Amino acid sequence: MGLADMPPEIFQHIVHDVVSVAGPGDAWKICKVCRIFAAEIADDIFAKSDQDTFRSRKDIELLHRGLDIFLLNRLDFPHDVNPTIFAKLTAMVDYLLQELGLQGKAAVSDWTECHQASICYEGCGVLQTSIFDVYDNLFAIVACKEYAKVEKLLQESLGSPVPSSAVSLYDPLAFSVGIGKFNGTLHFPVDEELLEVVLKFLTSLDLGNKSNKLLCRSVATGSQARFSIAAAVRHVVMYGDSKTLRKLLDFYVAAGVQPSRSQFNEWFEITAHRRQDEIAQLLIDFAPSGKSMINLRNLLEACQGSEATIQATLDELALSDINDGTIIIMKPLFVAVRSGNVAAVEIMLDRGADINGAAPSNVPGLNKDHLMPLDVLCIARNTT
């Protein structure tokens, strides 16, 4: 007797026992045997299993990959679903159908079939929080890419506080650049349309209003703030997205705000270490208050980067005398030596740095009052 000849009830019981004994993660491997196995195992795992079935790391990873299917099945068969999740999903779909003015059974059916999976997939974290209605509505609109409705909801959201533990889940700006999406280990493409909508909204805020002004300041420097430009910049710098970075930096200038010094230093350090010349140049040119944020503190990071970044940083610093300065950690040649980058040292020498120049020692316990570049190199390599 072949599989296809087996009574369906018996075959389903066999599959269910396999999933129960092996666990969803290992049972999933059997899907490769044949299409009959694949369909029945998928149905048992995502339609008939409850959340307690997913115990091991493999099981949880499988649940994450098929979370949209799992949640959609709970809409149709809510036998074991968390009542909060079910209520949220139902409310999101109902809100969208009403907001979009869909009428007629066929139209509603077609739309929900297309978009429920999107809401489930994108909203896996949001669905498990207890939060205000306006944010549920905003997330549903964003998940289904109905961006014409976003600005109105953003305005409404200003009057509704978000618990700090849920800020990242409900930040459409973070979502537009890929932060907080389903799997944080993957890089999602920037949603340029959503990004434009959010930046346009933030730019339109009346900064004469005290609460708006505080929001804008929080946007500029708060890594956990709503609409965190600072977090978005760090994210796009990590992935070398110069096009999106330019838009975010332009917002700082247009809004008349600027990031904290520590945030800027971190961005520049990331891009220098990754040798992203185009990103580095954008940060060097970034002048939110009319002046570049680059200072001597950033020279060490630049020296660990490419030759182009080192040269551009020195050009921006426009040092009147490359040998000037009495603090050893601020003298360009000493900084270049500490970086361990030969190209950086050569650039400093080409620009007139004195290889015999000395500076007061900053090494406790060393029997020298002044150090030369060669001394710094020896100390760095522990060869003294």
Q: How far apart are CA 174 and CA 85, in angstroms?
A: 23
Report yes or no on 281 lying in a domain.
no
Other beta carbons within 10 Å of 67: 18
Report yes or no on 69 lying in a domain.
no
Chain-centre distance of CA 66, in angstroms? 22
The end-to-end CA distance of the chain, in Å, is 81
Q: How far apart are CA 40 and CA 324, in angstroms?
A: 75
Report yes or no on 352 lying in a domain.
yes
Q: How far apart are CA 99 and CA 108, in angstroms?
A: 12
Q: What is the CATH number of the domain that holds 348?
A: 1.25.40
Report yes or no on 45 lying in a domain.
no
For residue 104, what is the DSSP state?
S
Report yes or no on 90 lying in a domain.
no
Report yes or no on 73 lying in a domain.
no
Report yes or no on 3 lying in a domain.
no
Q: Are 236 and 177 contacting, i.e. CB atoms less than 8 angstroms apart? A: yes
Report yes or no on 254 lying in a domain.
no
For position 28, what pLDDT does the model report? 80
Q: How far apart are CA 201 and CA 245, in angstroms?
A: 18
Question: 359-360 and 370-371: which strand pairing?
Answer: antiparallel
Other beta carbons within 10 Å of 34: 11
Q: What angle do CA 144, 117, 120 make, to 5 degrees?
A: 85
Q: Which domain holds residue 370?
A: 319-384
Q: Are 317 and 296 contacting, i.e. CB atoms less than 8 angstroms apart? A: yes
Q: What is the count of structural domains for the chain?
A: 1
For position 308, what pLDDT does the model report? 96
Other beta carbons within 10 Å of 357: 16
Q: pLDDT of the chain along its 384 residues, tens only?
A: 565 566 767 767 777 777 787 888 888 877 766 666 777 888 888 777 776 777 787 777 777 677 667 766 766 655 555 677 677 777 777 888 888 887 766 666 666 666 665 666 555 555 556 555 777 788 788 877 888 888 888 888 777 666 555 555 567 888 788 775 544 444 567 889 999 999 998 888 776 666 666 676 677 776 656 778 888 999 999 989 999 999 999 998 888 888 999 999 999 999 999 999 999 999 999 999 889 999 988 999 999 999 999 999 999 999 888 887 666 667 899 889 988 899 999 999 999 999 888 877 777 766 777 788 788 787 777 644
For position 262, what pLDDT does the model report? 92
Nearest Cα residue to 92 out of 50, 129, 120: 120
